[in-house]
Amino acid sequence: MVEVIDSDVCISCGICAEVCPCVAIKEGALSYVINSDICIDCGICESYCPVEAISAPGRHPSSENKGDNFSPSLRPSNSKDKFKRGI
């Protein structure tokens, strides 16, 4: 089950798009949106969202170890630098 963003909660800060190792998140009309065809369900975006707008339907948050599927090698080369700048 891939992550989804609740457009009613998202404040369009863009942090999730910056940390996604697969570049699966883009800004949409109402909020940021996750491309389910690209998302590997690593959970990184969910753990960084400041307003808890991201979740995986059917998955209980407390039962998951977020980020377990993450591999640093999957991260785009420039996203780490952007995040260090506090974007």
- Is 33 a binding residue for ligand SF4 by CB under 6 A? The answer is no
Residues 52-71 vs ligand SF4: string with x where CB under 6 A? -xx-----------------
22 binds ligand SF4 (CB under 6 A): yes
Which of 1, 8, 29, 43 is the binder for ligand SF4 (CB under 6 A)? 43
Task: At 50, list the tokens.
Answer: 């400041």
Within 10-60, where are the H helices? 15-19, 44-48
Lookup: tokens for 82: 């952007």
Instruction: Indicate which single residue of 1, 26, 28, 51 sits in contact with ligand SF4 (rule: CB under 6 A).
Output: 51
Q: Alpha-carbon distance 14 to 74, whole Å?
A: 19
Binding segment (CB under 6 A) for ligand SF4, from list 34-42, 57-65, 78-86: 34-42
Query: What is the spatial distance between Cα 81 and Cα 58, in angstroms, rounded to a whole number?
Result: 33
